[in-house]
A = this chain, B = another copy of it.
Amino acid sequence: MFLARVYVTLKPAVNDPQGLTILGGLHTLGFASVEQVRMGKYLEIRVDAPDADAARAQVEAMCRKLLANPVIEEFRFELDAPAPAAG
């Protein structure tokens, strides 16, 4: 069992209305020193695989096929050593 931590972010050139909204909210709350907010997704995925290479290949395929939109998003992930299953 491996735990993959996946980060999906918008490409730098892509407009981020959600980030801009949060930036506006932070300014309204008095956090004037915030200059930029970029919003992304974070996923924790538990995969059953015989070894780390197999797990890595599977998570990479999941990102390409479902988790990230390659037109506007980038992804990266880290793989943790075998983790105990949750709940």
* Contact residues in B for A37 (Cβ distance below 8 Å): 43-46
- Cβ of A79 < 8 Å from any Cβ of B? no
- Cβ of A52 < 8 Å from any Cβ of B? no
- Cβ of A48 < 8 Å from any Cβ of B? yes
* Contact residues in B for A19 (Cβ distance below 8 Å): 43
Contact B34 A43 (CB under 8 A): no
Provide the bound-state CA to CA distance between A48 and B65, in Å: 38
Q: Residue on B with the closest CB to A31?
A: B62
Known A58-B31, A62-B34, A87-B12: A42·B41 in contact at CB below 8 Å:
yes
Pairs A-B, 9 closest by C-beta atoms: A42-B42, A40-B42, A36-B46, A33-B48, A38-B44, A35-B46, A37-B45, A7-B42, A34-B47
